[in-house]
Chain A
Amino acid sequence: MASDLLSIGSSGVLAQQKLLYTTGNNISNVNTQGYTRQRTDLYTNTASLGVGMSNTQRLLNNYSQREMWRDTSGVQMYQTAYQQLNSTDQFLSSDANSLNPALSSYFSALDTVNESPNSTGTRQTLMGAMQDLVNRFNTASSTLTQQQTGINSNIESEVKSVNQLLGGISDLNQQILKAPKNSDGTSLNLMDQRDEMIRQLAEKMDIRTVAQDNGTTLVNLSSGESLVLANGAASVSVTTGDPDTTQTGLQVQIGSSKASIATDNLGGKLGGYYQARDNLAPVQREVGQLALALADAMNQQNSKGMTPNSTLGGDLFTLPSSTGLPSSKNTGTGAIQVSVIPGQGSNLTPNDFQVEFSSSTNYQVYMMQDGKKVSVSSGSTPPNQLQLSSYGIQLDFSGTPNAGDTMLLQPTKNAASGLGLAISSTDEIALAAPVTGSASSSNYGSGKISLAGVYNTGTGSGISSSSLASSAPQQVKINSSGDYEVYDGSGTLIGTAPASTKGQNLFANLLDSSGSKVYSNVQTTPGFDFNVSGTVKANDTFSIAFNTGGVNDNFNGLALSGLQSQDLVRKGTATGSGATQSFSEAFSSTMASLGSTVSGLNTGYSAADAKLTQSTQTLNSESGVSLDEEASNLIRFQQAYAASAQIITAARSVFDTLLSAAR
Chain B
Amino acid sequence: MRITTGMMYDRSLSTLMKSNERLSKASDQANTLQKFTTAGEAPAGMAQKLNLTAEIARYQQYASNGTSLQGKLSQEETVLDSLNTAMGSAYTKVQQIVNGTNNSTDDRQALASELEELQKHMLDLMNSRDDAGEYLFSGSQSNTPAFALDSSGQYQYQGDSVQRSTQVSQTVKIASNDPGDALFQNVATARTASSSTMSSISVADNSAFSSFYASRYDSANSANNTFTVATVAGSPDTYQVKDASGNVLQSGNYTQGDDISFNGLKLNPGVSAGSSSTFSLDAPKSDNVLNTLSNMISALRDPTQSTDQINALAATTQIHLSNSQNSVNQTTGTVGARLSSLDSITSSNTNLSAISQQKKADVSEMDLYEAITNLTKENNALDTARQSYALINKSTLFDYM
- A residues apposed to B, CB below 8 Å: 30-31, 37, 82, 85-86, 89-90, 92-94, 98, 100-101, 103-105, 107-108, 111-112, 114-119, 432-433, 436-439, 441-445, 448-450, 479-481, 537-540, 547, 549-555, 558, 561-562, 564-565, 584-585, 587-589, 591-599, 601-602, 613, 616-617, 620-622, 624-628, 631-632, 635
Interfacial chain B residues near A94, Cβ < 8 Å: 37
Q: Does B199 contact A (CB under 8 A)?
A: no
Q: Verify if B41 is at the interface (C-beta below 8 Å from A).
A: yes
- The answer on a CB contact under 8 Å between B181 and A438 is yes
Q: Which residue of A lies closest to B69 (CB)?
A: A115
Min distance, Cβ B227 to any Cβ of chain A, angstroms: 18
CB–CB B5/A115 < 8 A:
no
Whether A115 contacts B166 by the Cβ 8 Å rule is yes
Report the interface size for chain B: residues with CB under 8 A from the other chain.
71
User: Which 9 interchain pairs have the tightest Cβ spacing?
Assistant: A595-B39, A598-B40, A624-B4, A595-B43, A538-B220, A553-B140, A552-B142, A480-B220, A550-B140
Contact B167 A561 (CB under 8 A): yes
| Distance from B286 Cβ to chain A, minimum over Cβ atoms (Å) | 5
If A108-B60, A448-B161, A552-B134 are given as contacts, then 16 extra A-B residue pairs at C-beta distance below 8 Å, sorted by A number, are A30-B5, A104-B57, A114-B166, A116-B134, A117-B164, A441-B186, A443-B286, A539-B219, A552-B139, A553-B162, A565-B58, A588-B48, A591-B50, A594-B40, A599-B40, A620-B10
> Given A552-B139, A558-B173, A627-B5, A591 and B164 touching (CB < 8 A)?
no
Residue of A nearest to B400 (CB): A631
Q: Are B220 and A592 in contact (CB under 8 A)?
A: no
Chain B residues within an 8 Å CB radius of A589 = 47
Q: With A441-B181, A551-B142, A602-B40 known to touch, is A30 a contact of B6 (CB < 8 Å)?
A: yes
Partner of A617, one of B7, B39, B141, B218: B7
- With a cutoff of 8 Å between Cβ atoms, the chain B residues found around residue A442 in the complex are 283-286
In angstroms, Cα B4 to Cα A112, docked, is: 70
The CA-CA distance from A603 to B219 in the complex, in Å, is 81
| Interface residue ranges of B1-20 to A (CB < 8 Å) | 1-7, 10-11, 14
A554 touches B165 (CB 8 A): yes
B39 near A89 (CB under 8 angstroms)?
Answer: yes
Within the assembled complex, what's the spacing in Å between the Cα atoms of A632 and B401?
10
Query: Which residues from 24 to 81 on chain B have a C-beta closer than 8 Å to any C-beta of chain A?
Result: 37-44, 46-48, 50-51, 53-54, 57-58, 60-61, 64-65, 68-69
Once bound together, how far apart are the Cα atoms of A555 and B287, in whole Å? Answer: 28
Write out the residue numbers on chain B whose beta carbons fall within 8 Å of the beta carbon of A627: 5, 396-398
What chain A residues lie within 8 Å of B396 (beta carbons)? 627-628, 631
Interface: B182 (CB within 8 A): yes
CB of B391 closer than 8 Å to a CB of A: no
Could you tell me the distance in whole angstroms from the C-beta of B298 to the nearest C-beta in chain A? 22
Cα distance A433–B163 when bound, in Å? 11
Q: Considering only CB atoms, which chain B residue lies closest to A480 in the complex?
A: B220
Q: Do A441 and B286 contact each other (CB < 8 Å), given the known contacts A540-B219, A550-B141, A592-B46? A: yes
Q: How far is the CA of A617 from the CA of B54 in the complex (A)?
A: 50
Q: Is the CB of B64 within 8 A of A114?
A: no
Q: Which listed residue (A85, A481, A621) contacts B2, Cβ 8 A?
A: A621
Contact B47 A595 (CB under 8 A): yes
Tell me which residues from 165 to 218 in chain B have a Cβ below 8 Å from any Cβ of chain A. 165-167, 170, 173, 176, 181-182, 185-186, 217-218
Asked if A584 and B50 sit within 8 Å, CB to CB, the answer is yes
B167 / chain A contacts, CB cutoff of 8 Å: 111, 114, 558, 561-562
Contact of B4 (CB < 8 Å), options: A98, A115, A620? A620
| Complex contacts, B38 vs chain A, CB 8 Å | 86, 89-90, 93, 595, 598
Shortest B258–chain A CB gap in Å is 33
The CA-CA distance from A107 to B43 in the complex, in Å, is 25
Main SS of the interface on chain A? helix
Contact of A93 among B3, B37, B140, B218 (CB under 8 A): B37
Inter-chain contact B160/A550, CB cutoff 8 Å? yes
Residues of A contacting B221 in the complex (Cβ-Cβ under 8 angstroms): 480, 538
CA of A62 to CA of B134 in the docked complex: distance in angstroms?
87
A449 contacts B4, C-beta separation under 8 Å: no
In the complex, the answer to whether B161 meets A592 with C-beta atoms within 8 Å is no
Say yes or no: A620 contacts B220, CB within 8 Å.
Answer: no
Q: A442-B284, A480-B221 are in contact. Are A632 and B40 (CB under 8 A)?
A: no
What are 5 sample pairs from A and B whose C-beta atoms fall under 8 A apart? A111-B64, A480-B220, A550-B160, A552-B162, A584-B51
Known: A628-B396, A632-B397. A116 touches B132 (CB 8 A): yes
Contact of A547 among B61, B162, B165 (CB under 8 A): B162
- Report how far A371 CA is from B173 CA in the complex, Å: 47
A591 touches B47 (CB 8 A): yes
Q: Are B39 and A448 in contact (CB under 8 A)?
A: no
- With A and B bound together, what is the CA distance between A116 and B130 in angstroms? 10
- B143 adjacent to chain A (CB < 8 Å): yes
Taking a contact as CB atoms under 8 Å apart, the answer to whether A118 and B134 are in contact is: yes
Instruction: A537 to B161: give the CA distance in the assembly, Å.
Output: 19
- Residues of B close to A561: CB separation below 8 A: 167
Residues of B within 8 A of A31 (CB): 6
Can you name the residue of chain A whose Cβ is closest to the Cβ of B130? A116
Given contacts A114-B167, A118-B132, A561-B167, contact A551 B141 (CB under 8 A): yes
Question: Chain B residues near A116 (CB, 8 Å)?
Answer: 68, 132, 134
Q: How near does chain A come to B112, taking the closest CB pair, in angstroms?
A: 27
Distance from B339 Cβ to chain A, minimum over Cβ atoms (Å)? 16
Nearest A residue to B1 via CB reads: A621
Residue B144 is within 8 A (CB to CB) of chain A in the complex: yes
- Taking a contact as CB atoms closer than 8 A, the residue among A30, A92, A114, A449 that contacts B39 in the complex is A92
Complexed CA–CA distance, A555 and B162 (Å): 9
Known: A442-B283, A448-B182, A537-B219. A104 touches B53 (CB 8 A): yes
Minimum CB–CB distance from A497 to chain B (whole Å) comes to 17
Determine whether the beta carbon of A593 is less than 8 Å from that of B140.
no
How far is the CB of B329 from the nearest CB of chain A, in Å? 15
A108 with B57, Cβ < 8 A, contacts A449-B161, A555-B162, A565-B170 known: yes
By a CB distance below 8 angstroms, the chain A residues around B287 are 441
CA distance A443 to B50 in the complex (A): 53
Q: Do B219 and A444 touch across chains, with their CB atoms under 8 A apart?
A: yes
Q: How far is the CB of A105 from chain B (nearest CB, A)?
A: 8
B182 proximity list for chain A (CB < 8 A) = 439, 448
Please determine whether A85 and B181 come into contact, CB atoms closer than 8 angstroms. no
Query: Which one of B6, B37, B141 contacts A620 once the chains associate, using CB atoms below 8 Å?
Result: B6
